[in-house]
Amino acid sequence: MAIAGKKLEWIHVARMASGMDLRVAVHVVQGASDGPTVGITAGIHGDELVPIEVVRSVVNSIDPQRLCGRIVAIPVANPLAFETFTRHTPTDMHNLNRVFPGTQDSWISELLARSLVDYLVPGLDALLDLHSGGAIPTVDYVYALNDLELSRSFLFPTMYRGSSYPGSLGTHVVETTGASVVVAEIGGGNQFDDDYVVRGIAGVCNALTKLGSLPGEVVAAPEQTLLTEMAIIRPRHGGILYPEIKASSLGMEVPQGTLLGTVRDAQTFEVLEEIHAPFERTHLVLVRSVISKVHAGDYAYMLGDLGSAEILPAHQEG
């Protein structure tokens, strides 16, 4: 049995053109007794700050003497994107979370993905992959991929049963290992950051308790909405998006046809597009709640269909 404690390791990826080393920090927490190996990842997209703070807080709070098994935590999986506060890797403009498992002989994003997979995935029993809405949108839901009860233990009110994106880390782990995977989308857009950090920490710690990594009683899942159909709304025209719906409305239902936002030309003030709720019973999952520039094709809203959703009742653990 390895000695209980915390250590910092590095994944060395490549030498950059500047001569600087591209490397990724890994916080390894080794428990005093046997248990699962759990990966916790954040910062795959460089503009998603809330998950990075969640990882920091969780790692700092864990006492190795009370931990069963091992935690392998990566707070900033894409340092290049973090440095520029962008969703995509600035060197090649690829989305890291669309190129897993990566390769050793292609774009730097694919090389980074390959290095992360080679270090992290072997031996994993569970992966908690943390994301957020990024610099502008705010989001609030958890994927139900291959372990519904573990996903429920995150305690988020909205869940989505659907495959994660092809080329994402979560999809790769689901398709190639027997590990349980939870992908959580936590806040963003600088909206209610403190609240989302607290909820993210609580979700990760409850999931670790559910896995048997941490001692204590598992907090029972509340009533949750399990969506099975989701619409991603992207504007057809660039300009300025003026929202009608705020982040405080996330998780709420609005009727079909509700005006969510208006895109105007920044120079002529012309209304280019109005965005309306598409479903008879539309569930708000991701919104832009502040006036913001948009390109055609940007994420604007993610909306669930409550007509096809399942309501999961609250239940008691054990």
Work out the percent of the chain whose per-residue pLDDT is above 70: 99
Q: Quick check: is 156 in a domain?
A: yes
Q: What's the sign of the alpha-carbon dihedral 303, 305, 310, 314?
A: positive
Torsion of CA 237, 240, 246, 251, to 10 degrees: 20
Predicted confidence at residue 162, as pLDDT, reads 80
The reply to whether 32 and 99 lie within a common domain is yes
Which pLDDT tens digit goes with each residue over 70-117? Answer: 999 999 999 999 999 999 999 999 999 999 999 998 999 999 999 999
Q: CA 205 to CA 242: how far, in whole Å?
A: 37
Q: Is there a domain that residue 317 lies in?
A: no
The verdict on 192 and 170 lying in the same domain is yes
Report pLDDT digits (tens) over 267-294: 999 999 999 999 999 999 999 999 999 9
Does 296 reside within a domain?
Answer: yes
Q: What is the DSSP letter of 256?
A: T
Give me the sign of the Cα torsion angle 9, 185, 240, 234: positive
Task: Return d(Cα 105, Cα 51) in angstroms, integer.
Answer: 30
Q: What is the pLDDT of residue 316?
A: 55
For 95, the domain range is: 5-222
How far is the C-alpha of 148 from the C-alpha of 128, rounded, in Å?
A: 13
CATH of the domain at 40: 3.40.630.10
Question: In the chain, what's the furthest Cα-to-Cα distance?
Answer: 68
- With contact defined as beta carbons under 8 Å apart, do 286 and 302 qualify? yes
Do 210 and 278 belong together in one domain? no
Domain count, the chain: 2
Dist CA 224 CA 214 (whole Å): 24
Kindly state whether residue 273 falls inside one of the protein's structural domains.
yes
Does residue 1 contact residue 35 with C-beta atoms inside 8 Å?
no
Shared domain check, 117 and 55: yes
Instruction: State pLDDT tens for residues 18-38.
Output: 999 999 999 999 999 999 999
Which tokens go with 11?
Answer: 């994944």
> What SS3 state is found at 248?
helix
Question: Quick check: is 315 in a domain?
Answer: no
Q: Which two tokens stand for residue 54?
A: 């969640």
* Two tokens, residue 47: 């503009």
The H or E element containing residue 198 is helix 193-211
CB 122 within 8 A of CB 172: no
pLDDT tops 80 at residue 236: yes
Report pLDDT digits (tens) over 198-233: 999 999 999 999 999 999 999 999 999 999 999 999
126 and 248 part of one domain: no
